[in-house]
Chain A
Amino acid sequence: MPLILLALPLVIASLSLMFTNRKVLGAISIVGSATIVLTALSIARQVFAGSRVVWGQFIFIDALSALILSLVAIIGFMVTLYSLGYLAHDLKEGEFSEDRLKWYYFWLNIFVFTMFLVLVSANLGIMWVAVEGTTLATALLVGFYNKKNSLEAAWKYIIICTVGIIFALFGTILLHYAAVSVTGESGSLDWQTLRRVAEQLDPKLLKLAFIFALVGYGTKVGLAPMHTWLPDAHSQAPSPISAMLSGVLLNCAFYSIIRFHLVVSESLGFRFSSNLILLFGVLSIVVALPFILVQRDIKRLLAYSSIEHMGIIAVAVGLGSKLALYGAFLHMINHALTKSSLFFIVGNISQHYRTKRIIRIKGLFKTMPIMGPALMVGGLAVAGAPPFNIFMSEFIILSSGFAQGRYLVSSLIAILITLIFTGVIYALSKMVLGIPPSRVKLGEHGNFAVVVVLISLVPVVVLGVYIPGFIHDILQQVTSVFIGGSQ
């Protein structure tokens, strides 16, 4: 089963290269990603029913991997749906020629493959290879429009992330060095084995390994101060790709940090690694704030908001109590769903207005009677307003922080997210209100996109008032991965 999951995106990618027709490519990718969703969800179901999926030495899926795996598959499916209309419009406008379309689908599916590989591998070395693979698969997607700005973003992205990730490889090698005398060559990077033998490993080396891994993978997560690639890449990539980067790639990278965290905390105790994660989390929220307040480009605003939310997840993982972890992963789900939906909306709007500058987008309520309110709903949700999903998880995280007696951190975060709230709402209200410029046509921009956006907004609204039993159960299982130790 896990092998099928890994093979599927590769098959779709190679199939895509054989066609150039837009409709054929779209059909292949829709059918393909629907199959991927079914496979991924059936694996996840098996895992959540209590039996972990193991294949040989290299594949191991527990509740934590299964959760993010499902997110990747579901958002991947939404992205392929949304891509149809988005790319059709770009083609009509002559943004790129039709013979390059197959490369879009090729790299998109390779991207999905590498993320799956990150999540299913039982070996920290293979995980590293896969995380670097995600950078390579997306570099040309970020620069897909081949314009000056998008090429600049792609170059920054590949260079900064590759350098960052090289530090993570150094961390992995240090861990290997610390472990190889205890576990032997074969088990030295297997994280289950490592968790079991963690107490016998040299703590000095483990500390060093964790710091390198945190800085390395943290670059990919977009934790400040290594976040500089993120706003460029997110704003210059085609919007469906931005949705994918922000919605799931960041989570996959965070997953790698968690794996290291789990190994290291077995040996050094919980404090060392969780405090470091907490520190980077707080720093990310602090750094995101000023850029959100003065932002002029709507996609960059969303990108900085992703940095903020990754910071919040990091803070929650750093706090580390059961409730905080519950909140962290609920927040991961919420952020992935909301942010991808927002990138769909903003992609649609920016195609309609032909600009991403906030100041030039006015009167959305009047021009686009569905997308305008949708933007407001998504924006309120991502800013953390009740009664939407992100408010719920932020509330859980903050209340667990206060319950643990971490008053300073918790109140600082509370103040910061309130300020960010005002920044986001201020920017969005400038867009939805006012008199629309006369050059803009009235009416929606593509009916299909409207349907996709409305579907993607359903969980944003529902999860704000009610957490279904199965999600509650899943989150319980994910938090028990942290507490369950090495079994």
Chain B
Amino acid sequence: MQNYQGLVNFLITLILAATFIIIMARRFNSIIMAVIIQGLLLAALSTALGWATGIHEMYIAALLTLTVKAGIIPIVLINAVNKVAINREIESFLSMKMTLLIAACLVFISYLATGQVIGKGSGLINEALPVAISLILIGLFLMINLKFPIMQIVGLVVMENGIFLAGIGTTIGMPLVIELGIFMDILVGVLIMGVLVFRINRSFNTIDTKNLRNLRG
């Protein structure tokens, strides 16, 4: 395990970097590219962990990540983008500087919090949990900050990547049955959200979330 620590931590750092690409990108194509890269990195990470620990279930998790997160989900996203918002700039509520500042703060908070609550260096890999929590928080922040429903799906995917990282990073994954169930939920969830985005676009003729504000009180 020790020999792999360096490689694994490097992969985790790259995963965090991919998240920052998603934050900074202003075109759908680059965002979807970053989502694919993050999926690939997660698959690589679980393969590396499988190698290091000799647990074969990790390879299955890697394969699932590859097909779902680097395959099907990006395809659904690309489809949705092509149908509803070709070549549009992504608008956000906050400016780029502010967004980056907040994202950096979130990462800082995650490192601080995990150190305080769970103790430094706990879990199998010491980088995994803080980065996982960063991903969850940044995913949430993405969902609030960006104005397109498609970007809310991306935010969810980032959050879920964080959860997956927390799972494999702390305990070498959940039991396989549950892991399969989680993948299925994510997959079906993204598909249904894709359908909804399409229908929203059809009946609103636009896909800005500021139109989704009729129901109040």
In the assembled complex, the Cα of A129 lies from the Cα of B176 at a distance in Å of 13
Q: In the complex, which residue of chain A has the Cβ closest to the Cβ of B217?
A: A291
Which residues from B are CB-within-8-Å of A125?
A: 174-175, 177-178, 181-182
In the assembled complex, the Cα of A295 lies from the Cα of B29 at a distance in Å of 44
CB contacts under 8 Å to A, within B146-167, are 149, 152, 156, 159-160, 163, 166-167
Which residues from A are CB-within-8-Å of B112?
A: none
Which residues from A are CB-within-8-Å of B100?
A: none
B215 touches A152 (CB 8 A): yes
Which residues from B are CB-within-8-Å of A300?
A: 217
In the complex where A136-B188, A189-B175 touch, is A148 in contact with B204 (Cβ < 8 A)? yes
Per-residue CB contact flags for chain A residues 191-229 toward chain B (1 = under 8 Å, else 0) read 000000000000011001000000000000000000000
Q: Decide yes or no whether B99 CB sits under 8 A from chain A.
A: no
24 cross-chain CB contacts under 8 A: A125-B177, A133-B188, A140-B195, A146-B203, A148-B204, A151-B200, A152-B213, A152-B214, A155-B200, A158-B192, A158-B196, A162-B156, A163-B143, A163-B156, A170-B136, A173-B163, A176-B174, A180-B171, A188-B175, A189-B175, A204-B118, A208-B118, A236-B215, A294-B217
B181 touches A177 (CB 8 A): no
Task: Kindly name the residue among A152, A173, A204 whose own CB sees the greatest number of chain B CB atoms within 10 A.
Answer: A173
B189 touches A162 (CB 8 A): yes
Per-residue CB contact flags for chain B residues 175-197 toward chain A (1 = under 8 Å, else 0) read 10110011011001100110110
Partner of B203, one of A58, A123, A147: A147
In the assembled complex, the Cα of A163 lies from the Cα of B199 at a distance in Å of 21
B217 touches A151 (CB 8 A): no
Task: Kindly name the residue among A135, A140, A169 whose own CB sees the greatest number of chain B CB atoms within 10 A.
Answer: A169
CB contacts under 8 Å to B, within A269-312, are 291, 294-296, 300
B184 touches A129 (CB 8 A): yes
Q: In the complex, which residue of chain A has the Cβ closest to the Cβ of B175?
A: A185
**5 tightest CB-CB pairs across the interface, nearest first?**
A125-B178, A129-B181, A132-B185, A232-B215, A152-B212
Which residues from B are CB-within-8-Å of A189?
A: 174-175, 178
Band of interface residues on A: 35 or more
In the assembled complex, the Cα of A235 lies from the Cα of B152 at a distance in Å of 23
Q: Decide yes or no whether B101 CB sits under 8 A from chain A.
A: no
Which residues from A are CB-within-8-Å of B170?
A: 173, 177
Shortest beta-carbon distance from B65 to chain A in Å: 16
A151 touches B196 (CB 8 A): yes
Q: Decide yes or no whether B72 CB sits under 8 A from chain A.
A: no
In the assembled complex, the Cα of A231 lies from the Cα of B216 at a distance in Å of 9
B residues adjacent to A (C-beta < 8 A): 117-118, 123, 136, 140, 143, 149, 152, 156, 159-160, 163, 166-167, 170-171, 174-175, 177-178, 181-182, 184-185, 188-189, 192-193, 195-196, 199-200, 203-204, 212-215, 217
In the complex where A136-B192, A173-B167, A177-B170 touch, is A143 in contact with B215 (Cβ < 8 A)? no
Which residues from A are CB-within-8-Å of B171?
A: 173, 176-177, 180, 188
Which residues from B are CB-within-8-Å of A140?
A: 192, 195-196
In the complex where A159-B143, A159-B152 touch, is A126 in contact with B181 (Cβ < 8 A)? yes
Which residues from B are CB-within-8-Å of A169?
A: 163, 182
Q: Decide yes or no whether A370 CB sits under 8 A from chain B.
A: no
Partner of B185, one of A123, A129, A139, A180: A129
A139 touches B192 (CB 8 A): yes
Partner of A151, one of B156, B159, B203: B203
A155 touches B149 (CB 8 A): yes
In the assembled complex, the Cα of A58 lies from the Cα of B178 at a distance in Å of 11
Which residues from A are CB-within-8-Å of B199?
A: 143, 146, 151
Q: In the complex, which residue of chain B has the Cβ closest to the Cβ of A129?
A: B181
Shortest beta-carbon distance from B148 to chain A in Å: 12
What 16 additional pairs, Cβ within 8 angstroms, besides A153-B215, A185-B175, A236-B215? Answer: A125-B182, A126-B178, A129-B185, A132-B189, A136-B185, A146-B199, A147-B203, A151-B203, A152-B214, A154-B196, A159-B156, A163-B140, A166-B160, A169-B182, A173-B174, A235-B215
